[in-house]
Each structure stands twice: as structure tokens, then as C-alpha cells.
Amino acid sequence: MKKKLDSPMIADTQPHQMNAPSFKGTGIKPQAPFVNDYGVVIGDSKYASANSPLENWSEETDPEIMAGDEWIHPTNDIGWNSAENRELLEAKRAPEAPFMHPDKDVSSETD
């Protein structure tokens, strides 16, 4: 059961990350942070949670405990900053219309 939290997203971007991609125009809607089954906040961009195995590491901690989708945020993940994932976003982005002057007919008397 995931609990939703306030999102750090502003206008479909992650302004707190220097090279964060924009999801605007891609059809991908930014999602809010959530708390996973271990009580760890995922996607809040603070990267530290009191219940995280990383904050409570010991020799008995099995690293496999942090494997799986519940440890990855769908839209606020550092992986979006990679070139490959940026290309995926650009491929989803709708092309922009060509620049036009709506009140001027620049094609008038050109033929």
C-alpha cells in the first residue's frame, strides 16, 4: 500500500535537478512521491529516509532488499537524466507548429 506525498515537480519539470528533463508535451504525467512497503519515501528528491536500509546498513543487511520496482519512482528518478531516457522523452514529444504570424499573410502575392 503506497502512501502519496507532496511532489517536488513544478510545471512538469524537476527544477531541483540541474539537468532534469521536462515531461511537458510527452504525455507522461509526473507522479507524486510515495512510501513503499518498507516505509521508505521514494521520489521526494531528499534521497534519505529514516527507514531506508541505506540509513540502517549493517553486515546483516542483504542488498537484495532494495531490488524491485518499489524502489524506483516512475518520473522522479535520476535515470531520466541519462541520454537514452532523454531520447525516449523527445520521441514522445509532439512536434511544435512552425512559427507563423497569425495576423499577416506572408504568402500573399507570391505566385
Going from N- to C-terminal start, the domains of the chain cover 1-92
* pLDDT tens string 26-51: 888 888 889 999 889 888 877 788 88
pLDDT at 57: 92
What is the three-class DSSP state of 34?
Answer: strand
Q: Which of 43, 37, 38 is nearest to 74 (CA)?
A: 43
Provide the whole-model pTM: 0.65
Cα first-last separation, the chain: 66
d(CA 57, CA 75) in angstroms, rounded, equals: 27
Question: Which H helix or E strand runs over 99?
Answer: none
pLDDT at 24: 82
* pLDDT tens string 56-88: 999 999 999 889 999 998 888 888 888 898 898
Q: What is the largest CA-CA distance in the chain?
A: 81
What is the three-class DSSP state of 44?
Answer: coil
